[in-house]
Amino acid sequence: MAIQKTEGILLRRQDLRETSLILTFYTKDFGKIKGIVRGVRGPRSACGGANMEIFAHDEVVFYERRRSDIFTISQCDLLDYFAPARESLERLSYASYLVELLDSVTALGDKNEEAFDLLLNSLRLLSSCSPRRVARIFEIRLLHILGIMPTFGECANCAKEVGAGSRFSIRHGGLICKKCLDSDREARPIMQGTVNFIEHIRTLPFERVARIKVAAEVGVELERILRKFLDFHIERRLKTVEFLKKIA
């Protein structure tokens, strides 16, 4: 069994028997991994406490197991607890949403260092930025990284130039021109300010995205459109989305 060491952010934890846990991490070097940590309640536990809280940033040591995609975790040392994100129910809930969203759209073993860096930087940004804005930034950048970003430069149905009268289609994955409206009667108008914000977030360096000002009406429309778009691709409702609605 090969011994591996990497940075990881804890996405999920599940009880296994009385003293063990199954932990799911999104790691820098291996993508999403799942591993068993044994004896977490015993006196010789290598893992325990803050390093096993959801969205903790840990250094993880694990053993790969033959013929199994569940590894054995021997050690995890805390690197960052993101304490500011845990100081309010709203920030804690949005941090939980980020990790649940990434967990829902990634498969075990698919390495994507960009996705890891995005999650890490977004959790850090929660300490100084509106949680809702962080969520929108994370959603847009994640869609771009995964290659399912909505199309705005041309019609998502016929690939021709979009002009006046274009609408946003969840089904087609972007703007559709006036001639293609019959292909999706559920397509809705979208403000140019919303399109501009999405394009800025997609293209700017991460350290600059939090400075972009957004009008209240753009923020409302953006949240509605991204939620519907993500629901369409994920095909299930995330638990944290329902909880965020309750505390809104």
pLDDT in tens, 116-128: 999 999 999 999 8
Superfamily of domain 1-81, CATH level 4: Nucleic acid-binding proteins (2.40.50.140)
Distance CA 192, CA 96 (A): 31
149-197 residue pLDDT tens: 999 989 999 999 998 889 999 999 999 999 999 999 999 999 999 999 9
The pLDDT confidence band at residue 234, using thresholds 50, 70 and 90, is: confident
Domain limits of the chain? Answer: 1-81, 86-248
What is residue 64's predicted lDDT score, i.e. its pLDDT? 83
Region of 147 please: left (phi>0), alpha (psi -120 to 50) or beta.
Answer: left
Q: What is the mean pLDDT of the chain?
A: 91
pLDDT digits (tens, 9 = 90+) for 218-227: 999 999 999 9
Q: Kindly report the backbone phi and psi dihedral angles of residue 33, in degrees, each rounded to the nearest multiple of 5, phi listed first.
A: -130, 155
Query: Could you tell me the fold of the domain covering 86-248?
Result: de novo design (two linked rop proteins) (1.20.1440)
